Amino acid sequence: MAEETAPEIGFTDFQKVDVRVGTISHVEDFPEARRPAYKLWVDFGPLGTRKTSAQVTVHYTKDTLLGRQVAAVMNFPAKQIAKFRSEILVLGFPDENGEVVLIAPDRPVPNGGRLY
């Protein structure tokens, strides 16, 4: 059965979601997480560094994440995950097994740039 898309929204609704690009500047293991995950610190240039947890251990190692640009939602409320406060949502698509494949620009762009 085909998956349905979300309901139609207006452009002003899209503008409410603040998606920015940043570079992963620090990565740590997150053993307290329920599912395997890393703690990520993402540098958004003039917007500062924000942290998050990400369940991306299947396709990425700490070394392959460090220095990688990613897209993230900046304006969700912070969320407590175990003893770690997640401030952003890093974006990705599911692979054929439902594991996260991160979204990134296809060439370097300035950190903090907004999706449009």
Identify whether 56 is part of a domain: yes
Identify whether 109 is part of a domain: no
Q: Along the chain (116 residues), what's the average pLDDT of each consecutive run of 10 residues?
A: 86 95 98 95 98 97 98 96 95 97 97 96
Identify whether 27 is part of a domain: yes
Identify whether 112 is part of a domain: no
pTM (two decimals): 0.93
What is the pLDDT at residue 1?
Answer: 61
Identify whether 1 is part of a domain: no
CATH number of the domain residue 56 falls in: 2.40.50.140
What is the pLDDT at residue 26?
Answer: 98
Phi-psi region of 45 (alpha: psi -120 to 50; beta: other; left: phi over 0): left
Q: Can you tell me the distance from the alpha carbon of 89 to that of 71, in angstroms, rounded to the nearest whole number?
A: 9
3-state secondary structure of 106: coil
Q: Report the domain count for the chain.
A: 1
